[in-house]
Amino acid sequence: MKFDLISKDKSSSARAGIIKTSNGTIKTPVFMPVGTSANVKGIHQRELKNDIKPDIILGNTYHLYLRPGIKIIENAGGLCNFMNWNKPILTDSGGYQVYSLSNNRKIKESGVKFKSHIDGSYHFFTPENVIEIQRSIGADIIMAFDECPPYSKNYNYNKDSMERTHRWLERCLIHDKKISYKYEWPQTLFPIVQGSTNKELRKISANFISEKNCEGNAIGGLSVGEPEEEMYEMTEVVCSILPQDKPRYLMGVGNPINILENISLGVDMFDCVMPTRNGRNGMLFTSEGTINIKNKKWENDFSAIDENNYTFVDNQYSKAYLRHLFSINEMLGKQIASIHNLGFYNWLLDEARKNILEGSFSIWKSKMISKLNNRL
């Protein structure tokens, strides 16, 4: 993997760059649609490639390990072949999913024993076997196994968790160098900065991660219930320490305003289930604000879903028709809303990049955020 930093905003820490992998080029800042289990929910790969057009998508180690299972992915020739996606993929290590199973897992120094949410079977993740699983999945960018602590002000707990993540990283790095790639392309390992919302711990972790000199770095443990102001504060602290010449990935963030604010703090890569999850519940993101398409006010509105026409659905269907689909619980409505939202997110990141390159990002961001706050 190669990262070229092309431009910096003069009034903020926003950056525009290009990541080159064996499977394609990624323009940053970038939003990665979440394809947890080898699919972006409700979206055909054809729609991803031809209409939404992301440069990269995300898969999840935990879910793919459980279903369809690693052997099937290996037999297909990797996740890209299994799901018919010929562009870059990033896989999360599963640390966040293990965190979410707080009542069904036990963390030890050796790894994490957890109970499957599917059938109750027990499994054990270690830094080593998580690297091996990600080898079999075959993503371009893979993540180190980390402990993602819940939002808490407990300093000692957060310190212990951060230090365990650092020790697990050491093991990941050793094993990553030890085992061969399974497919024709190399993989790049990103370590993860932890430390909850404690500024001192975040500085320690960011310095530790920086010293490993990996090709890119991630910021984890945010968007887990903390106030937005604390999220931004931690991001700013970490980005001030992480190397300028390496891409920075803020995991699990977020809504459009969160993304723009974090771009201005120096983040390059984002992922979140919000575009599809909110879409399935009838919330549409637009450049003028959010729409709850289930509201009665839209039942006689025959205007296009969005005149900006991010994807084909925006001028092919009316608001009234989309509201009707939701009122009868028709799955097509959820698909249309998901496609629209992903198209909007991709447009928003493209606009952010364009304004960084043109030197107008901060002015554009302020205007955009004031509109994104609207409830239409």
Point out which residues pair with 18 in neighbouring strands.
4, 27
Point out which residues pair with 291 in neighbouring strands.
284
Q: What is the DSSP string of 208-233?
A: HHHHT--S-EEE-S-SSS--HHHHHH
Cis upstream peptide for 254 (omega within 30°): yes
Name the active-site residue from 9, 146, 268, 271: 271
- Count of CA atoms in the C-beta half-sphere (13 A) of 89: 28
176 is catalytic: no
Residue type, 246: K
Q: What is the DSSP string of 13-30?
A: S-EEEEEEETTEEEEESE
Q: Tell me if 93 sits within 8 A of 134, measured CB to CB.
A: yes
Count the residues in the chain.
376
Number of H helices, E strands in the chain: 15, 17
140 is catalytic: no
The rounded distance, in Å, linking the Cα atoms of 318 and 322 is 6
Q: Tell me if 237 sits within 8 A of 207, measured CB to CB.
A: no
List residues with catalytic annotation: 92, 271
